[in-house]
Amino acid sequence: MKFAKLSIAALVVVGFASSAVAGGKSEMTFNPFGSAKLYYETIATDAAGSDLFGQYGGTAAAGQPTHPLSVGGASGQALFSLGATGKINSCFGYGVEGMAVDTLGLENNVVSGVRMGNGNSAPKDALDTQFWFPQAYVTYHPCDVGTNTTFKIGRQYLDTPLAFTEKWNVAPNSFDAAVVMNQDIINTTLVGAYVGRGNGEFVQVTNGEEFRTYGTDGAYALGAITSLLDGALPISVWGYDVVNVAQAFWGDAGYKLNLGDGINLNLGAQYGFMTPDDDANSLATALGAVNPDDTSGFGVKIGTTMKVADMNFGLMAAYTSVDKDGVLALANTATVQNTGGNGISPTLGGKKTKLYTAAIYGDGTHVAVPGSDAFKIKATTKLAGIGSLAVQYVNNSNDTHAALEMDEIDVILGTSLPGGLGAKFIYMNRAYDKVNNDAVHNDADHVRIILSKNF
């Protein structure tokens, strides 16, 4: 029954393709892709019995999977995806992707937690293998009409400042949406989108096959992306209406300057605000907010890249500030929590944020929360024969929520192993300024290992 339900998404693409071919000569192409991923993370805190690479870390009963942000222990899952993109004829294209997530039995002796849920919080159900289609869409480009316009309809990934697909966890979230893009204006893309449903989930990112209505009646977005000065000045502006959640605006701009001798200077600025709905059916009202205030925030950054001999280096510094009076975090509306008081974020907000100062864990739940002022320093390089290395430090203070004041250091190494196996090794240390006993806002060391193979 579960597989039959998922097959409907694929049949939409096949049916659309069949009708398009019937109307004209088929030029069908088929470009398959696939990947496999093994995702493991271990956490150690000051809690008794908690140490890196321990299965339970002193926090869970044997055989009971825990929340991925539990105070200690290890979590892990494996993902397999297979899909294809292509065109049906000169006007129509398609894309479809199937995913499966499984624990591989790691909970028996290696981990005590899963990386993503499946719409059911019962521990035994969290271990079930999950199958779903994160992508199943068709594209349409009006042929011989004289316009550079494309429609993309169906299940798909999105990347906009306040509603986007998060790809940091074992599996990404996606959307049932209709998107139109126009590029008739030189160096400019205009975007309009209606989002009906999504499978985004706070913290865990995705609930697999459990797609739910976005807001209460969907969401709308309009955007304009352009570049001036021969691409040196990229600018984008976005407006949103997430029904019964918020109306929002986002704008950002950058400036790229070539200083010569392989040295480039990069500047950036961003600003956003969110106005929460406060009627009887709104999310803010349901969670007890009375006369909720707007959230506004801004960010600035300066960075440089340089090449010395055969090595590339990068250095970036950023500062962001979010007004303290709001009730919504300036973060991803696709992974917004739907219940209050979860102990991770004191306000309504998503897991990730596009603010410049986001850390790996100090992200939408920290630097994007109202009252936060954060700064970030990041250095990157490529090591010959090894891979890419990034080191960043983030400090977050908060005028209203002292429990979110923290320092985080992230070290990220990306490399390739024999056989074309991709590997990412991440070390994170997060230290809070205030001693907490809530099992989440506690000093912690994290080690994350991601092995992947594309084929």
Mind listing the pLDDT tens digit for each residue in 45-97?
Answer: 776 566 787 777 654 444 444 444 344 678 899 999 999 999 999 899 999 99
Find out whether 168 and 332 touch, Cβ atoms under 8 Å: no
Q: Which of 8, 22, 226 is nearest to 132 (CA)?
A: 8
Q: Is 423 exposed, middle or buried (0-12, 13-18, 19+ CB in 10 A)?
A: middle
At residue 15, the pLDDT reads 47
Options 3.30.390.30, 3.40.50.450, 2.60.40.10, 2.40.160.10; which CATH number does 2-454 get?
A: 2.40.160.10
CA gap 88, 346 in Å, rounded: 48
pLDDT tens-digit map of 158-189: 999 999 999 999 999 999 999 999 999 999 99
Q: How far is CA 116 from CA 40, 54, 91, 200, 444, in A?
A: 12, 20, 38, 11, 20
If one compares 15 and 99, the residue with the highest pLDDT of the two is 99
How confident is the model at residue 60, as a pLDDT? Answer: 45
Which amino acid, residue 248?
A
Q: Where are the domains of the chain?
A: 2-454
> Does the pLDDT value for residue 7 go beyond 80?
no
- Whether the per-residue pLDDT at 8 is higher than 80: the answer is no
pTM for this model (two decimals):
0.88
pLDDT tens for residues 199-227? Answer: 998 888 888 888 988 877 899 999 999 99
Report whether 53 contacts 102 (CB < 8 A): no
Output the six-digit token pair for 118: 């499946």
